[in-house]
Amino acid sequence: MKFRIVLCAVLLLSGCSALKFDDSYQSVGHDSRVQFIVLHYTSSDLPRSLYLLTGKDVSSHYLIAEQPATVYRLMDENRRAWHAGDSQWNGRTWLNSSSIGIEMVNKGYTDTPEGREWQPWSEKQVEALVLLLKDIMQRHGLTADSVVGHSDIAPQRKVDPGPAFPWERLAQEGLIHWPEPQTVAIHLQTFNQQLPAISWFQQQLAQVGYAVPVHGELDSATRNVIAAFQMKYRPDLYDGEPDAQTAAMLLALTTQMSRQL
């Protein structure tokens, strides 16, 4: 009796291993699991970054070192990395499942008696990032709407990659949208006369992709989202104030994004 049970188990397993599929028909209604690429800084040096990102608590698909600008591939892109956490962009939440994480070795900031000092970025490191982004975006069919910072998808708790990060360089490479300076200048003339309501700022930020309250009140959550937007597009001043220049940049950006849909 025992022999029969073992034999049946063997036959069952062998049957499973012989399973074959008919690939004659292929669906065309699908796209890549990857919808976003999220950029981070590590807040630590290379050895510490490698230690943390190869452990059990946090992970990333790629790590770009500073000197030399080496790109470490830490895991397969088809696997879900633990880099985004509680996050939201364009209505999607918990972006680990729909994104590729790129960590870059950079200490971020140091608080000094004179104020917060941000570490500048290595040109070689940024060049490596540009090449990596172009490769990933081409393979997954991603557009300029897809590349975001950790501070974009989690503005209530994150500031990386920070105001020193060269977002405009990525825009010059066609990797992200950027408000056109001439359009900003035109809108600025209008908004210098009268600022829009807070609800307008909230609606525009939501149109860009941010998770923001839309209740018409300038609360701390709204200020944090405005600051995240400013940190990306106006890094010289990111105080979270809904001023005329921020309004002009927002309208220029959302108009541009609408044209390219």
Residues that are catalytic = 103
Classify 14 as helix, strand or coil.
helix
Going along the chain, which residue ranges are E strands? Answer: 36-41, 62-64, 71-73, 88-89, 92-93, 99-104, 109-112, 115-118, 147-149
Tokens 């944090």 correspond to: 224
The distance of Cα 246 from the centroid of its chain, to the nearest Å, equals: 21
What does the longest C-alpha to C-alpha distance in the chain come to? 91
Helix-helix angle 244-259:220-233, to 10 degrees: 70
Classify 161 as helix, strand or coil.
coil
